[in-house]
Amino acid sequence: MADTPRPNEIEPEKEPEKPIECSGECRRPIAVHYSEITGQTIVVTGMCEECPVLKRKLHGMHTQIKGASSLAETDLACGNCGTSLESIKVGSLLGCSSCYDIFDETIVAELQGAGKLPTRLTSVKKPLPLHFGRSPGEVKEITPSIRLLALNEALNETLKKEDYEQAALLRDQIQALTRDDEKPKNGEKKNND
């Protein structure tokens, strides 16, 4: 076991790794293999279609900057941890909770751009909450009845398709769930037996 495996792999010799700025961040599929030859070494990097690192390498870092306000924006950094606006735009992790205050609008825009905000929230302005879940210490148990609702929904769809054999299996599971003493596994066991 002397070899050192790389992260996020089942088998080596797969896709090249993403740029360091994007590693662990970018979930988009690799669309470009960017090879950089320096002397005798060739470094191959995997990049997505919209990779900001790729754009920077192809077009240069400051070609997009047109006016003084843009320049000021690129210089913006968190006073607590030093994380810059530019690093957030290339997908780097945030450095501290103050970053959320300082880069509020950019973070929301990035979440929207990545499809990580429900459509109904796209126009929520500061200081309205984006968060609808638990707050610290709040005890809010989730009951297994959610499973019952999901099975009922699946049952309705099965009946629409007139698959009565499948419907009977689903009905069995619903009945078993409504009896406290019987709990089938995963909602699949009876289907696959």
Answer yes or no whether residue 102 interacts with another protein by CB under 8 A: no
Contacts of 105 by beta carbon, 8 Å cutoff, 6+ apart: 126
Residue 182 binding another protein, by CB under 8 A? no
The answer to the question of residue 59 lying near another protein (CB under 8 A) is no
Kindly state the number of chain residues that form the binding site for another protein, as judged by CB under 8 A. 81
Taking CB under 8 A as the rule, does residue 86 contact another protein?
Answer: no
Counting contacts by CB under 8 A, is residue 45 touching another protein? no
CB of 23 vs another protein, minimal distance in Å: 9
Token pair listed for 89: 């735009």
Q: Spell out the SS3 assignment of 150-188.
A: HHHHHHHHHHHCCCHHHHHHHHHHHHHHHCCCCCCCCCC
E-strand stretches of 3-40 = 32-38
- Asked if 10 is part of the footprint of another protein (rule: CB under 8 A), the reply reads yes
Residue written as token pair 């984006």? 130
Stretch that binds another protein, among 34-42, 51-59, 67-75, 160-168 (CB under 8 A): 160-168
The verdict on 151 binding another protein (CB under 8 A) reads yes
Q: Is 109 in the site for another protein (CB under 8 A)?
A: no
